[in-house]
Structure 1
Amino acid sequence: MESDTSGELIVLATDARGARAHVTDEIRDRTGVSVRPISIAELEGCLEGEPPDAVVLVTDDPDAVRTNVERVREETPDTPVVVSPRDGSERLATVALRARATDYVSQDETRLVDRILESVRSHASRDRSEEFRRILAEELPDEAFVIGADGTYLEATVRPESEGLYETSAAELVGTNLGDAFPERTAEELLDCIERAIETGEIQSVEYDVETGEERLRYEARVVPTDRRIGGRRAVVWLARDITERAKRERELRARQAELETLNRINAVVRRVIETLVEAPSRNAIEREVCRQLVDSELYCGSWIAEWTGDGALAYRTGAGEATTYLECVQEGSDDPGRPFRRAVRSGEIQTEDHVLEREPLPDQLQTAAAADDVEAVVAVPITYEDATYGALTVLASRDDAFSESERAGFELLGETIGFTIMAVKNRQLLFADTVVELEFRIDGGETFSFDLSREYDCTCSLEWSGTTANGRTFQFVTIDGIDGETVLEEANDHDSIEECRLVHDRGGGCTIEMRLSESGVRTLTNHGVTIRDVTVEDAVGTCLVEVSQDANVREIADALSAIYENTELVARREVDRQVRTAAERRNLILDELTDRQLTTLRLAYYGGFFDWPRESTGEEVAEAMDVSPPTMHQHLRKGLKTVLSEFFEAGRTTSE
């Protein structure tokens, strides 16, 4: 036996009749193993605390064998138990094996001490051997090596189908060192793994890359320490398996998880921004808050908003972040049509640029600025509401491929929400303003239906009201003087801009029609926060009278109208004080307009539940209460309702909501 077993502890337990001195002496003399001789009665106390490496029972009593083997199994299940009687018998051997003794060795056997030590050694390496067998059975390696403690290849085997990947064959590898096969850093990591396996006596795992002639492979190794010394040196069995495809899948999975986490953070930022927009008091506040929150999220290094001036230029409005060098450079070259924010405004679609520092050709100045501010990706989002464009939001990121398809969808929603909120703020400011600005535009020779009709039939067209349906289609109510309804209807059905037309009423020399349009200049104006007071076309010349808030961008509105009607001129700009009426004044005004019969009919219908759903009173019941016929009651009712609604809808000739 070799001296490396000197640290093992064997408890030799005998009964009162057992002679143990000669066995103890022989084990000590031959191996140097530590032996603790005790009586069987002392065995239970000996099992408490740190268990021994092995227990040897020297007794011929079957009951003592059964009791004490079971006791060891209960207290320390992993400790080997060798039953070694002085005389021995078949019955005693049967009892020992049934009690699950590790071995049965009679003391008259010549290899008694060897058998005892083999049981100890078998127990010490059992867990490692089972793991070794599992690796071979379940994870058949692509490569197997025996490597010395100093990193020298002692044996090498590679699967035949893998041999072609390497410049050095398995046979040539023997005798070389890890430092010859791997870069210095990798070799150090692998050598550390070997040292840990030898020092701890436990199987270690390690992953590493292998450069072949064509590609880089990823391997996972199980490093199994072995008790067998080779050339007097400790060694390990190195079992390596190609996990390149698994590692690739794991990287892709981690990338997807990271993208999902980032997308969740982006959606949270977008949601918070949208929530704050609801309470924003002005356009400036909206834009400042958007830029601030995007940068505060730490997902982006810069953000700014540019305003579309309509004359081919974009003017900086507000921004946030530390990418100031890049921003200054972009502002200096804002006329460059290749800039993503210009493309976004012109196309109405999101524009992205990834790997900014690698793009070719990129102006030297801009590339230097991007490097200085660590800008790797850019997204430009048009700020729009329906067909109105207010500008572009530009966001900078220090992440490669930052703006995925999912992230773009979030920014698209954000751009639309900012546009809607800007429009809503403009309308709110206009609605509650005591003083507004009245703008009068002259339009020469438009190409719309009203201009074509006025030019052809020398008639006058006046817009009564324009609105938008739930599905986004625009419709208008237009009164035409100087032509009959049938002619107007026939012309309308042949006009490309009109999807559908209905004759509301025909007065012979004039009519009112309802048109559903594919596009409308009126709708464009309302999207810019404008209240339309009057639109008239006479002699193929249009007059458009609108109201805007005092801080409105008149140039933006004029450019929006010019985009539809080429020959547009702002002919007047006037400040107008609105007439403020209290609720009581408006109520009295309506009452003055109603006849007694109309007021009575409205009151009877209202308090009688005629307007409820389902109705509490029918028209016949209201007519009976008034002592008039149902047609007469309906006539008074409709005229009264028209008077009430006229005060609401036609005060100041408002034509848009």
Structure 2
Amino acid sequence: MSTERSLGEEKDGRSAKPVVLVVDDDEDLADTCEYWLRDDYDVRVAYGGEDALNQIDETVDVVLLDRRMPNLSGDDVLEALRDRGLDCHVAMMTAVEPDTDIVDMPFDDYLVKPVTKTDVREAVDELVVRSDFDEEVREFFALESTQEALKTRDVDDLRDPAVLNELREQVETVRRGQADEIEKRQRQLDRLHHINDLLRKVDRALVDATTREEIEETVCESLASFDAYAAAWVARYSDAVDAVTCRTSAGVAPPQLNGTADAVTPVVRSALQERQVQLVDEVSAEHFAAVFETNGTAPPDLDRESLSAVVVPVTYRDTAYGALVIYTDRADSLDEDDRTVFEELGATIGHGINAAESKRLLYSDTAVELEFSHEDRDDLFVDLSATVDCRVTLQGFSPAADGGISCYVSTEGADTEAVLEYLTTHDSVESARTITDGPEESMFEVRITGSTVLGPLIEFGASVNTLTATNGDGSLAVTVSPDADLRVLSDTVQSAFPAIEVVAKREVEQSVQSTETFKRELEDKLTSRQHDVLETAFVSGYFDWPRGSTAEEVAESLGISAPTFHEHLRSGERKLMETFFEETTETATTEKRRVTNN
């Protein structure tokens, strides 16, 4: 019997990031550690012992502590924080080679410099996990870390080799008293290191991959190369026909799912609809046959009864690229940390695919242009044109990191005040202002948080060529890379705006302007004085932050007044922006007149 469940709770239920305090008088190293850890931890930095004692409190979970610091050493800091009764985990991070004097020091781990990003991240990750262990188990792992540190030294070089024997006996005594719990926790730590190895391997693979196919193949191969996983494949799900097909696989030949996907489709559908990792505790005979036996290549040593499947949605924001299906015999031990890691893996792959397709569109000589009819009044611009009875044209837009979009739209045949009233009272509009108010055409800047087709298009990596709407009747043209999954794009757009339909698909050529051509075009527009002002400002550091030179200093070096400098600078900057943005916003495609669907 096959049983399915969602693995773990929603992300919103997770606790805040653990707090890490990095203490080192080497400011460059301290800042580097902060950079390595900032994505997963709330990191604080202290550049000395006294600074550390001022910052440390009960909210700190882990301390990375240098031993050799002026004024107040790391050993003194360690003693002081233990005297305060603080229960944080401490990893000594030092160039001082360990000796038997460290046996009585109450730290939890010992890192010898130079350290790598992997050293630091693994140490912090493990110490955070150890914080949930029982006190005696935590003591065992702290003692074991001390023992491992001393193993790096030749016994004859230690101050008191007898202390090492006493330490070994102490470690074994604690181990015997907590054998079962220590074994359980050791498996947990081993799994943590395995998962981190997996993520690093996938991350390295994604850096080198350039296409969606290459990313998917690399991820599957990386997973299948680990002993913990029997096989992996990428499932493509079609909502229109409620069916699953295989895009690529490793560890098993690509499953031939035609007519046999009923055992697989429901769990893939659930993963994508719920945007949540799904676990098949026990793979059913039908599921096993569909994946491993339809092509007659089931591994002979694969035991179905002990096999579980993890189904990971591969998404980027609202775009679902498919699901990663992984088979393992360790699913019975998966916990919240594993769920988080698999979710991170799916998001990482989705981001990689989106970036690859966007880059492919940018540098490809050819592209695919899709034209949509757009009458869905859930879209702000279509509804605006119908409500105010006018023509609305998108002139440009700029996505923000928080998911909002700053749009620049023009209207024709409408009262400016009526348009502004509509925009400022719309639920999805954060702000709106009039840029120009003309008798025939007006321009507005609108900050939008939703209710526009631009959102899913941006997330997919499509380039929006035109978006217009007249009295509720709209049209939309976008360009995507030639190897983009058009079904995913269509499903993504229509799931949010059902009244949008594809009316044409064209293969187009993209013109690419060389750097030299761009420079010649710009130089033709600039006056000699504007060129000199821009070049002098650039080389003197005027555009740096903080500025290397002030406007007055640059003006003086040119022998002109500051107001004259600003006048030429603004004119030159304007021409630079015009040259760049006119090139990027003009239609840079030539249709081959091969309409494949209308």
Q: Measure the CA separation in 1 of the matches of 2:372 and 2:547.
A: 48
Q: Hey, what does 1:525 align to over in structure 2? A: 457
**1:313 — aligned with what?**
243
Q: Does 1:544 align with 2:473?
A: no
Distance 1:252 1:385 in 2: 40
Instruction: Give how far 1:618 is off.
Output: 2.0
Tell me the amino acid that sits aligned with residue 432 of structure 1. Y
Equivalent residue, structure 1, for 2:379: 448
Displacement of 1:295? 1.8
Structure 1 residue 351: deviation in Å? 1.0
Return closer, same or farther for 1:293/1:617 CA change in 2, 3 Å cut-off.
closer
CA–CA separation in structure 2 for the residues paired with 1:254 and 1:513: 61
CA distance in 2, matches of 1:475, 1:417: 26
1:409 corresponds to: 340
CA distance in 1, matches of 2:271, 2:261: 13
Q: Which aligned pairs between 1:381-396 and structure 2 lie closer than 5 A?
A: 381-396=312-327
Distance in 2, matches of 1:605 and 1:265, equals 52
Matches within 5 A, 1:77-92: none
Q: 1:258 aligns with which of 179, 187, 194?
A: 187
Q: Indicate the larger mover: 293-302 or 602-611.
A: 602-611
1:555 aligns with 2:487: yes
Deviation at 1:304, TM superposition (A): 1.1
Counterpart CA distance in 1 for 2:331 and 2:378 is 48
C-alpha distance after superposition, 1:297-352 (max 9, x if no partner): 1101221111233423332111122599xx66x76443568732221011111111
1:302 aligns with 2:234: no
Query: How far apart in 2 are the matches of 1:338 and 1:308?
Result: 8
> Greater CA radius of gyration, 1 or 2?
1
Which shows bigger deviation, 418-427 or 374-383? 374-383
Structure 1 residue 468: Cα displacement:
2.9
Unmatched segments (≥5 aa) in structure 2: 1-174, 588-598
Residue among 556, 569, 591 paired with 2:523: 591
Aligned position for 2:261? 334
Give the SS at the match of 1:550.
coil
Measure the CA separation in 2 of the matches of 1:423 and 1:436. 16
Cα separation, partners in 2 of 1:455 and 1:519, compared to 1, 3 Å? closer
Q: Give the 3 Å change call, closer, same or farther, for CA 532–357 of structure 1 in structure 2.
A: closer
Distance apart, 1:402 and its partner CA: 3.8
- For the 8 Å contact 2:468–2:475, the answer to whether it is kept is yes
1:144-223 equivalent positions in 2, closer than 5 A: none
User: What is the letter of the counterpart of residue 288 of structure 1?
Assistant: E
Residue 471 in 1 paired to residue 402 in 2? yes
2:546 is the alignment partner of 1:616: no
Secondary structure of 1:278's counterpart equals helix
Q: Which residue of 1 aligns with 2:214?
A: 285
Using a 3 Å threshold, how does the CA distance of structure 1 residues 650 and 633 change in structure 2: closer, same or farther?
same
CA deviations 1:521-576 (Å, max 9, x no partner) are 21311322322222222222222222222222223222222223222232332222
Q: In the alignment, what sits opposite 2:508?
A: 576
Q: Within 2, Cα distance between the matches of 1:628 and 1:284?
A: 58
Query: For the residues of structure 2 that align with 1:556 and 1:338, how far apart are their CA atoms?
Result: 17
Matched, 1:640 2:569: no
| 2:304 is aligned with 1:379 | no
Counterparts in 2 of 1:441 and 1:285: CA distance versus 1, 3 Å: same
What's the CA shift string for 1:349-397, capped at 9, x where partnerless? 1111324569xxx999789989953443221110011111100001111
DSSP-derived class of the 1:418 partner: helix
Structure 2 CA distance for aligned equivalents of residues 642 and 559 of structure 1:
41
* CA distance in 2: counterparts of 1:400 and 1:550, whole angstroms: 38
Question: Please, what TM-score do these two structures have when normalized by structure 2?
Answer: 0.60
Q: Secondary structure at the match of 1:339?
A: helix
Of all paired residues, the percent bearing the same amino acid is 32
- Structure 1 residues 504 and 403, CA gap change in structure 2 (3 angstroms): farther
- Contact 1:505–1:513 (8 Å) recurs in 2: no
TM-superposed deviation, 1:642: 2.0
Q: Tell me the residue number matched to 2:58.
A: none
Between the aligned partners of 2:476 and 2:523, the Cα distance in structure 1 is 33
Asked if structure 2 preserves the Cα contact closer than 8 Å seen for 1:485 and 1:512, the reply is: no
Q: Match of 2:392, as an amino acid?
A: C
Distance of aligned partners of 1:468 and 1:364 in 2 relative to their CA distance in 1, 3 Å threshold: closer
1:573-611 Cα shifts (integer Å, max 9, x gaps): 222222233222211212233355644553454456543
Q: Which runs of 5+ in 1 are unaligned?
A: 1-245
CA deviations over 1:259-300 (Å, ceiling 9, x no partner)? 321232122122211211110132122112211221221101
CA contact (8 A) 2:270 2:278 kept: yes
**Counterparts of 2:283 and 2:490, CA distance in 1:** 37
Q: Give, as a single letter, the amino acid of the residue that structure 2 aligns with 1:260.
A: L
Q: Which has the higher contact order (CA 8 A, sep 6+)?
A: 2
TM-superposed CA distance for 1:648, in Å, is: 1.8
Deviation at 1:649, TM superposition (A): 2.5
* Contact 2:540/2:554 (<8 A) preserved: no
| AA aligned opposite 1:345 | L
Structure 2 CA distance for partners of 1:251 and 1:353, relative to 1, 3 Å: farther
1:59-118 CA-partner distances (Å, limit 9, x unpaired): xxxxxxxxxxxxxxxxxxxxxxxxxxxxxxxxxxxxxxxxxxxxxxxxxxxxxxxxxxxx
Counterpart pick for 2:390 among 449, 455, 459: 459
Q: Give the AA of the match of 1:451.
A: V
| Match for residue 267 of structure 1 among 180, 184, 196 | 196
Q: Say whether the 8 Å CA contact 1:504–1:512 is kept in structure 2.
A: yes
Once the 2 structures are TM-superposed, how far is the Cα of residue 654 of structure 1 from its aligned partner? 7.0
Distance 1:460 1:248 in 2: 79
TM-score (norm 1): 0.55
Letter in 2 for 1:295: A
Find the aligned partners of 1:609 and 1:319 in 2 and give their Cα distance. 52
CA distance in structure 2 between the aligned counterparts of 1:414 and 1:386, rounded to whole angstroms: 14
Q: Distance in 2 between matches of 1:388 and 1:318?
A: 19
Query: What is the alpha-carbon distance in structure 1 between the residues aligned to residue 191 and residue 478 of structure 2?
Result: 46
Alpha-carbon distance in 2 for matches of 1:287, 1:498: 38
State the Cα RMSD in Å.
Answer: 3.5
Paired amino acid for 1:272: K
Partner residue in 2 for 1:430? 361
Q: Alignment partner of 1:315: what SS? A: strand
CA–CA separation in structure 2 for the residues paired with 1:537 and 1:580:
30
> Is contact 1:479-1:510 (8 Å) kept?
yes
Please say if residues 279 and 309 of structure 2, whose CA atoms lie closer than 8 Å, have aligned partners that are also in contact: yes
Does residue 350 of structure 1 match 2:277? Answer: yes
Alignment partners' CA distance in 1, 2:195 and 2:538 = 52
**Against the structure 1 CA distance between its residues 543 and 258, is the aligned structure 2 distance closer, same or farther, given a 3 Å change threshold?**
same
